[in-house]
């Protein structure tokens, strides 16, 4: 008989905790949820105040028996599931099914799995927080109602297997809206005028740009305007009228929250959200080091940037010993007003375990993410980078020009880490020569530049997470499953790193906007999240939220079902003739995306994939070249006659009139790969070099 039984969610977490607890203690894993709503029906008794009808998850019968047996033989049962609402709910379900005296059961949470934290947390065991459980139940029940009541409408009108969701449908709408902005965007022409100027004393050239005339800013939208100004400044004297020297500081980013970690891992490591959370879970639960299983980071589902005083002291010690006193600065970060702040920011649990030191014990993915978290945390407690700046105003025949430059004076936190961005960063500006007011600088060349305004960029996983967070839609734990779901449903697809709506996504989005406006309403979805937070704080009853939502929502569902009863959504007709019956085939959507099907189903069951081709004939046999995609989404090119009559297949798009040599093609691919890798290394080297100047 064990004195203590500790139930966690995963075996990895169990292995890490075991080594910290002496005595007669047993640690076992529940393997995640053990009870849930049934998949085959709504599972909510709407006639009896929305009581959830939980059932044991199929396949977990033996595990439940084992947990019950262990619980009965233990003197005390500690439910140590994850320290969030989901974990609290799992603990509550465990307490329900263990079938032991409730006085015997207690709740314990670990924000980080270190010896000190585990032992301290065991001393601070508490009751299950029913407010957190209710907040999770409210989300689960409301999302189940939305999904199970709207999805059948989509099945009838679009196709089976589709789904709608309170957060996922808003995410799809954001992506569709952005695509419409891009499609409707009308570029506007604009011009800039740059002038290369020479300082006679230093013989240094620098660049200035036209700002305005007589102190007023001007905008240029045609070549005629530009040509007129060039005539007036071509032979003018360029006189320095003002010089401003200063210092600019760049402060480090805060330590990671869940969403900022997901965004940065997407930008810098090319990780999907799902991959990031999976790797982070492993780092939190523990990896095998020489001293045993060790948790390397704090809990990875958080929206707080707060760090403990103990962690702050560890950061100071590490920074001062590695870089020196001048690189350290004690920093506090303001947490968002909507943040739950139950946990610290994501940080290393053992600052003394530098990434390079334990690299051999981590998978490549674990090492990359741990290094990112480690460096971001340390950098957040470092001194700002300092730049010397210089701004110069220059006048030529009444026209005002501006020039600016900056140089890195002190690298500060940038010696370790610089935050990524979704957009192209402006390169460091060269410092200007030492100039004087009223000095003449000599015009070398005038460079007019035509540009056009650009549409907003498509969302990436990183920028979509940022948008959802800013709008208060969803919470840290929901971003990854939301984006995974809409990709799996084929509502969106990835092109490079960009998220693009499919035709199916557009159809579903249109149907929801026209018939279930609340479900795709950003404000409504954000308000519901706020009410979930109030439930977690004990300031609202979860069933009140469901009651208020259910009545109006069901009226809308019934109204839509009646209105759409005799409405049949028309399939898009292609120009492809069905070779079996002569009808024009239509576009349908299946598990793997869009395909062609005969509209004569079920009499004619002909269906075939949509084949993408290029307008260049096969360089071997002259046949049609088909575009295919690898499992990773990379395009390659293959002859329609391959492999029976032709051997053409290549990663490289063929060119007209070009002969194909398999060996030369292979070398070309290798050269491309090498150039890409070299370019990445060069870019990383340049970034490092600029930070160390």
The per-residue pLDDT for range 425-470, each reduced to its tens digit, is 444 567 899 999 999 999 999 999 999 999 999 999 999 999 999 9
The per-residue pLDDT for range 468-480, each reduced to its tens digit, is 999 999 888 889 9
Q: What is the mean pLDDT of residues 333-355?
A: 80
Q: What is the mean pLDDT of residues 418-423?
A: 68
Predicted pLDDT at 356: 96
Following CA atoms 576, 579, 585, 588 in sequence, which dihedral angle do they give, to the nearest 10 degrees?
Answer: -110
Predicted pLDDT at 176: 97
Q: 3-class SS at 37?
A: coil
**How far apart are alpha carbons 286 and 344 in whole angstroms?**
18
424: pLDDT strictly greater than 90: no
Phi/psi at 242 (5° precision): -155, 145
- Computed over every residue of the chain, the mean pLDDT equals 90
Highest mean pLDDT among 81-85, 174-178, 414-418, 681-685: 174-178
570: pLDDT strictly greater than 80: no
Predicted pLDDT at 426: 43
341: pLDDT strictly greater than 60: no
Predicted pLDDT at 686: 43
| Contact partners, residue 78, CB within 8 Å, separation at least 6 | 4, 5, 6, 7, 106, 107, 108, 122, 125
Strands 292-294 and 287-289: antiparallel
690: pLDDT strictly greater than 70: no
674: pLDDT strictly greater than 90: no
Q: DSSP label at 520?
A: T
Task: Label residue 693 by pLDDT band (50, 70, 90).
Answer: very low
Predicted pLDDT at 160: 75
**How far apart are alpha carbons 424 and 144 in whole angstroms?**
41
Predicted pLDDT at 688: 46
**How far apart are alpha carbons 222 and 191 in whole angstroms?**
7
Predicted pLDDT at 642: 87
Predicted pLDDT at 566: 64
The per-residue pLDDT for range 582-617, each reduced to its tens digit, is 999 998 876 666 789 999 888 999 998 888 888 899
Predicted pLDDT at 632: 67
pTM: 0.81
Task: Label residue 569 by pLDDT band (50, 70, 90).
Answer: low
Predicted pLDDT at 477: 83
Predicted pLDDT at 447: 97
CB-based contact 346:380 (threshold 8 Å):
no
Q: What is the mean pLDDT of residues 552-577?
A: 82
678: pLDDT strictly greater than 70: no
Task: Label residue 75 by pLDDT band (50, 70, 90).
Answer: very high
512: pLDDT strictly greater than 70: yes
Task: Label residue 365 by pLDDT band (50, 70, 90).
Answer: very high
The two structure tokens encoding residue 257: 């929250």
Q: 3-class SS at 164?
A: coil
Residues designated as active site:
299
Residue 457's alpha-carbon distances to 196, 264, 265, 461, 515, in angstroms, are: 32, 18, 19, 12, 29
**How far apart are alpha carbons 447 and 234 in whole angstroms?**
11
Predicted pLDDT at 289: 93
**How far apart are alpha carbons 234 and 621 in whole angstroms?**
59
Predicted pLDDT at 692: 41
Q: At what angle do helices 503-515 and 168-184 cross, to 10 degrees?
A: 110
Q: Angle CA(533)–CA(536)–CA(537) in degrees, nearest 5?
A: 90
Q: What is the mean pLDDT of residues 647-656?
A: 90
Task: Label residue 339 by pLDDT band (50, 70, 90).
Answer: low
Task: Label residue 689 by pLDDT band (50, 70, 90).
Answer: very low
Question: Of residues 339 and 146, which shows the higher confidence score?
Answer: 146
b/e sequence 192-226, b meaning 16+ C-beta within 10 Å: ebbbebbbeeeeeebbbebbeeeeeeeebeeeeeb
Predicted pLDDT at 495: 85
Strands 385-396 and 238-250: antiparallel
Predicted pLDDT at 163: 84
Q: At what angle do helices 130-157 and 522-536 cross, to 10 degrees?
A: 150
Specify the range with the lowest mean pLDDT, choosing from 345-354, 423-432, 498-507, 541-550: 423-432
């Amino acid at each position: 008989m064990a004195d203590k039984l500790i139930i966690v969610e995963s075996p990895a977490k169990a292995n890490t905790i075991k080594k910290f607890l002496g005595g007669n203690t047993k640690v076992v894993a529940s393997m995640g949820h053990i009870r849930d709503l049934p998949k085959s029906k709504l599972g909510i008794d709407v006639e009896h105040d929305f009581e959830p009808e939980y059932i044991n998850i199929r396949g977990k019968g033996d595990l439940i028996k084992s947990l019950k047996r262990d619980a009965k033989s233990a003197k005390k049962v500690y439910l140590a599931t994850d320290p969030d609402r989901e974990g609290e709910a799992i603990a509550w379900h465990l307490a329900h099914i263990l079938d032991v005296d409730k006085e015997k059961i207690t709740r314990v949470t670990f924000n980080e799995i270190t010896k000190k934290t585990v032992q301290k947390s065991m001393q601070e065991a508490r009751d299950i927080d029913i407010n957190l459980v209710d907040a999770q139940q409210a989300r689960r029940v409301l999302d189940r109602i939305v999904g199970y009541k709207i999805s059948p409408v989509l099945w009838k009108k679009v196709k089976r297997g589709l789904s709608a969701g309170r957060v996922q449908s808003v995410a799809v709408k954001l992506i569709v809206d952005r695509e419409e902005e891009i499609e409707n965007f009308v570029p506007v022409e604009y011009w800039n005028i740059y002038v290369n100027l020479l300082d006679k004393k230093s013989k240094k050239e620098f660049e200035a740009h036209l700002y305005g005339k007589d102190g007023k800013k001007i905008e240029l939208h045609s070549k005629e305007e530009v040509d007129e100004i060039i005539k007036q400044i071509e032979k003018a004297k360029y006189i320095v009228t003002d010089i401003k020297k200063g210092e600019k500081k760049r402060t480090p980013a805060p330590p990671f929250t869940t969403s900022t970690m997901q965004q940065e891992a997407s930008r810098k490591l090319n990780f999907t959200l799902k991959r990031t959370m999976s790797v982070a879970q492993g780092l939190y639960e523990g990896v095998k080091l020489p001293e045993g299983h060790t948790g390397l980071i704090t809990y990875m589902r958080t929206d707080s940037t707060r760090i403990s005083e103990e962690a702050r002291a560890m950061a100071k010690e590490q920074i001062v010993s590695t870089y020196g006193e001048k690189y350290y600065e004690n920093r506090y970060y303001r947490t968002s007003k909507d943040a739950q702040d139950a946990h610290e920011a994501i940080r290393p649990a053992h600052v003394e375990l530098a990434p390079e030191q334990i690299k051999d014990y981590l998978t490549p993915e674990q090492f990359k993410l741990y290094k990112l978290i480690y460096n971001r945390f340390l950098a957040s407690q470092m001194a700002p980078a300092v730049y010397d700046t210089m701004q110069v105003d220059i006048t030529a025949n009444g026209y005002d020009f501006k020039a600016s430059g900056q140089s890195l004076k002190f690298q500060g936190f940038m010696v370790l880490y610089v935050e990524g961005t979704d957009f192209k960063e402006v390169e460091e500006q060269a410092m200007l020569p030492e100039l004087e007011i009223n000095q003449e600088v000599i015009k070398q060349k005038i460079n007019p530049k035509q540009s056009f305004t650009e549409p907003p960029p498509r969302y990436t996983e990183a920028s979509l997470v940022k948008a959802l967070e800013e709008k208060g839609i969803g919470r840290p734990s929901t971003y990854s499953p939301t984006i995974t779901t809409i990709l799996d449903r084929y509502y969106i697809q990835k092109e490079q790193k960009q998220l693009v709506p499919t035709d199916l996504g557009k159809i579903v989005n249109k149907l929801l906007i026209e018939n279930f406006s609340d479900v795709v309403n950003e404000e409504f979805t954000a308000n519901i999240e706020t009410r979930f937070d109030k439930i977690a704080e004990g300031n609202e009853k979860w069933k009140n939220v469901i009651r208020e939502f259910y009545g109006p929502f069901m009226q809308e569902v019934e109204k839509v079902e009646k209105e759409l009863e005799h409405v049949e959504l028309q399939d898009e007709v292609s120009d492809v003739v069905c070779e079996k019956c002569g009808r024009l085939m239509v576009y349908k959507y299946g598990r793997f995306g869009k395909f062609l099907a005969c509209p004569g189903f079920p009499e004619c069951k002909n269906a075939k994939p949509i084949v993408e081709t290029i307008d260049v004939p096969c360089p071997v046999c002259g046949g049609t070249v088909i575009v295919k995609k690898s499992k990773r989404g990379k395009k390659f090119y293959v002859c329609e006659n391959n492999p029976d009559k032709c051997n053409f297949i290549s990663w490289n798009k063929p060119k007209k009139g070009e002969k194909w040599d398999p060996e030369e093609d292979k070398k070309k691919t290798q050269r491309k790969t090498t150039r890409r890798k070299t370019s990445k290394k060069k870019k990383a080297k340049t970034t490092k070099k600029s930070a160390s100047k």
